[in-house]
Amino acid sequence: MKSSSAALIHAFESVARGDLSVRIDEECEAPGLARAFNAMIASIGEREYRQTESAKEQIFQSEKLASIGRLASGIAHELNNPLTGILAYSSMMLEGMKDTQYAEDIKIIIDETIRCRDIVRGLLDFSRETHPELRPANLNHLITETLSILEKTHSLSNVVVEKILDDKIPAAGMDTNQMKSVINNLVLNAVDAMPFGGTIKIRTGIDKKAGKIFMEVEDNGSGIKKENIGLIFDPFFTSKDMGKGTGLGLFVTYNTVERHGGAIKVQSEEGVGTTFTVELPIK
């Protein structure tokens, strides 16, 4: 049997080389120390495994979104011209048939075509890969501004919005328009998830060690079905009724946050609620 100090030195050297499978015989002269060492290495190994798995998952998710995004914007590009044609001809038809029984039907064609065109435009704007113009801005101010606009333009009377903003968060490089639309999307999704009312908590804070600020948007609404969690950031994934959602909100949000060098995560439980966390680098 090696002396405990020789075993310890050997074990430390192995860990330094990156070998986390090393263990010390707990029947040695210092069993307490050996047990503590083994437990420590086991927990480091477990944490490392979890971090690698989550990094792999993030890479997979962003590669998947990049390729679906390219496909979707390619289709949008192709659809743009025929839609413009349908809109031009149906508008001309309406002019000529204003006083006929067909006028109402043609109006529906025009309205629905406009809706398609708006979706296509949204995708095209997005695919132009406009790089965000990053300027130092205060996330708390953007949240307050966005909420006050939302209160005027949407019915939020059903929900209580609680702001728990850390006034010590430093400015971060942000494209203010794009970041406001991130806040907008997350808050409106939370509102939609609570048709019978509820509470939205918007928290900000700083993780100094990681050099990040974060924003959490928490609701106590419907939650997201387990099988849908992996799909919510995909373009056109929506669980809302026809005409209610395009399924582009979170897709655009994900990409905006990523272009800011940040990350977005979701935690959700069906029937309990959902929390989205956006992290942004301070520099």
Ligand X SMILES: Nc1ncnc2c1ncn2[C@@H]1O[C@H](COP(=O)(O)OP(=O)(O)OP(=O)(O)O)[C@@H](O)[C@H]1O
- Footprint of Mg ion (CB under 5 A): 189, 249
Chain centre distance of CA 64: 14
Quickly count: other Cβ atoms within 10 Å of residue 167's Cβ: 7
Q: Tell me whether residue 4 or residue 181 sits nearer to Mg ion (CB atom).
A: 181
Kindly report the backbone phi and psi dihedral angles of residue 16, in degrees, each rounded to the nearest multiple of 5, phi listed first: -60, -30
Q: How far is the CB of 10 from ligand X (least distance, A)?
A: 52
Find the angle CA(232)-CA(236)-CA(237) to the nearest 5 degrees: 30
Q: Which residues pair with 267 in a beta bridge?
A: 275
Does position 159 interact with ligand X (CB under 6 A)? The reply is no
Q: Tell me whether residue 33 or residue 188 sits nearer to Mg ion (CB atom).
A: 188
Per the CB < 8 A criterion, the answer to whether 226 and 270 are in contact is yes
Does position 173 interact with ligand X (CB under 6 A)? The reply is no
Q: How far is the CB of 81 from ligand X (least distance, A)?
A: 23
Q: Residue 102 touches which of Mg ion, ligand X, none (CB < 5 to 8 A by kind)?
A: none
Q: Tell me whether residue 214 or residue 251 sits nearer to Mg ion (CB atom).
A: 251
Task: Tell me the two tokens of residue 277.
Answer: 């966390």
Q: Residue 232 touches which of ligand X, Mg ion, none (CB < 5 to 8 A by kind)?
A: ligand X
Does position 193 interact with ligand X (CB under 6 A)? The reply is yes
Binding string, 213-232, against ligand X, x = CB under 6 A?
------x-xxxx-------x
Q: Tell me whether residue 18 or residue 271 sits nearer to ligand X (CB atom).
A: 271
Q: Tell me whether residue 4 or residue 238 sits nearer to ligand X (CB atom).
A: 238
Kindly report the backbone phi and psi dihedral angles of residue 99, in degrees, each rounded to the nearest multiple of 5, phi listed first: -100, 20
Does position 102 interact with ligand X (CB under 6 A)? The reply is no
What is the separation, in whole angstroms, between the first and last Cα of the chain? 53
Question: What is the rounded distance in angstroms from the CA atom of residue 96 to the CA atom of residue 103?
Answer: 9
Strands 263-269 and 135-137: unpaired
Q: Which residue in the set 184, 189, 220, 255 belongs to the binding site for ligand X (CB under 6 A)? A: 189
Q: How far is the CB of 260 from ligand X (least distance, A)?
A: 18
Task: Tell me the two tokens of residue 163.
Answer: 């702001």
Q: How far is the CB of 266 from Mg ion (least distance, A)?
A: 13
Question: What is the rounded distance in angstroms from the CA atom of residue 233 to the CA atom of residue 214?
Answer: 19
Q: Determine the size of the site formed for ligand X (CB under 6 A).
A: 22
Q: Is 5 strand, coil or helix?
A: helix
User: Which residues sit at the interface with ligand X, rule CB under 6 A?
Assistant: 185, 189-190, 193, 219, 221-224, 232, 237-240, 245-251, 274
